[in-house]
Structure 1
């Protein structure tokens, strides 16, 4: 009997032929991948390719044949990976697969915030051709950009920004050498940066690491951009900082609760540019994440060591 593997619809076109070559029975799931669907379709599955839905201890207990949970992406805060390890289940991810897409999106948000692109376009569509005269834009050249987290994405952001004649400050738990910026301490980055972009995972050390005290340290003209995880920023404190003018604005692709609730105050603030956690969903990144996640499943099922095991 063929081993059953669960694959979200977004990945199916890229992996179905390869999985078939490895004699794996692919079961397509919705991209929402809610617990009841995964359990009804694949309680006997040996592998799950997982998007951003929670994968809990209870789900693990109900899937006795499971060998691997292969994350379609980088973050793994939605998986109880420690409990999975206790049950002998490997959890993997795809580091770097969407790095270019996310880095480009972060730089795009910095430019949009600098040029007020969204609000100017919105005003023009509404017939206000005088808006731009009252709201001059800023040059990025000469500004200071702080990068928090210097993994695959942070390094790409620094390199991309090198052509904009900006001063790049970098904070990372373990400082590294880079020709594209200067490593500084936490407080220095927060106090001196005109733009701050976040690229750290959600861990006990980073969750709500940007909160009231951090916003107080930032310039009132500063903007913050988050393409990491929503929980890295204390969202309530962010709303207060944006409303009070403690910081000038924000570009957000991730939120503490996703999808962002319709009644969220963030939706009402004019100084926030919002996108729905789609930075890593370019055609190129989707293909890389799909094929790499599938390869990790195949390795584990074949009793080989995966390349990117988390636990």
Structure 2
């Protein structure tokens, strides 16, 4: 069988270290893998119309919205090479009975390490103390009032693979952990609370919930106002989950002691955003889950799941409620 006889797999994500090689090892014997030749909308739509499987774009440049679902009439499976699927219209693809899968948990360790590291940096004042040292000072008095993270109550919004790993690391440090999740998680060793109760009893609030219509603005001005004085917030979810103007106001007036932000309402972050000027904010350009280790795991998971789809085996991590067995062409392959 020649490559022309194989299902066509369109890769929207730009070339990264080892991406094509890993995909090739898993797919070249069963699929015709095509990297997007030019990163412009016309090329994207032309290639999409000829694709049987699509690997999404982790940069967010190319969305798989309702218009793309209408263009990609041959597409039978969509694999997003990340945990977030907010650049994909899940309902539009579900209407066409096309399963959309993500890479749940593949970068959980990487994101969790950043979230806990950001909380440590904020609570222990790493950045301001370092800056004063660089400027020639010896700010020993600034250690007064610092409390060990083990003594701080941690609340996690969203207990998928990333939220669970964050909880495990904080628990290993010794911090009391509680959480809120959209659905019950009875298997977890920490108490579940309502959102208002969680906020009122949390010193370190970590936002790790996917961006969906029901989670947009979930961390509202009222929720931020109910956090105890001196609390900090860490957001590794998506920017629009948090009311960003309300967050800025809470940081400016001191109701929040600090924030660690990997994600923002607008990305890249506007050059004139007040967040860039606040001394109690740790900023990161949406790369918490982009360590070399994490990217390798994401690419591996993507390749393995696409191979399952092409061979007609059950795929993993379907996010839009479509059955996990994929029909390529006239029959299951």
Structure-1 residue corresponding to 2:77: 68
* Structure 2 portions without partners, runs of 5+: 321-333
Structural RMSD (CA): 2.2
TM-score by length of 2: 0.84
How far 1:129 moved relative to its partner? 1.9
Worse-matched range after superposition: 191-200 or 50-59: 50-59
**SS, match of residue 35 in structure 2:** strand
Matched, 1:45 2:51: yes
TM-score by length of 1: 0.90
Structure-2 residue corresponding to 1:225: 234
CA contact (8 A) 1:5 1:42 kept: no
Matched, 1:239 2:248: yes
Whichever structure has more strand as a proportion of its residues is 1
**SS, match of residue 79 in structure 2:** strand
Structure-2 residue corresponding to 1:6: 10
Instruction: Pick closer, same or farther for the CA change 1:27–1:201 going to 2, 3 Å.
Output: same
In 1, the alpha carbon distance for the partners of 2:256 and 2:86 equals 28
Moved over 4 A (4+): none
Instruction: Pick closer, same or farther for the CA change 1:45–1:270 going to 2, 3 Å.
Output: same
Structure-1 residue corresponding to 2:328: none
Structure-2 residue corresponding to 1:284: 293
Matched, 1:22 2:30: yes
Structure-1 residue corresponding to 2:120: 111
How far 1:22 moved relative to its partner? 2.0
Structure-1 residue corresponding to 2:95: 86
Give CA-to-partner distance per residue, 1:195-253, whole Å, 9 cap, x none: 11112111232211111101110122000001112111011111111111121110011
Structure-2 residue corresponding to 1:193: 202
How far 1:42 moved relative to its partner? 4.5
How far 1:260 moved relative to its partner? 1.6
In 2, the alpha carbon distance for the partners of 1:5 and 1:78 equals 19
**SS, match of residue 248 in structure 2:** helix
Give CA-to-partner distance per residue, 1:76-118, whole Å, 9 cap, x none: 1110121112223221111111111111111111111111112
In 2, the alpha carbon distance for the partners of 1:128 and 1:6 equals 55
Residue among 132, 138, 144 paired with 1:130: 138
The number of residue pairs the alignment matches comes to 307
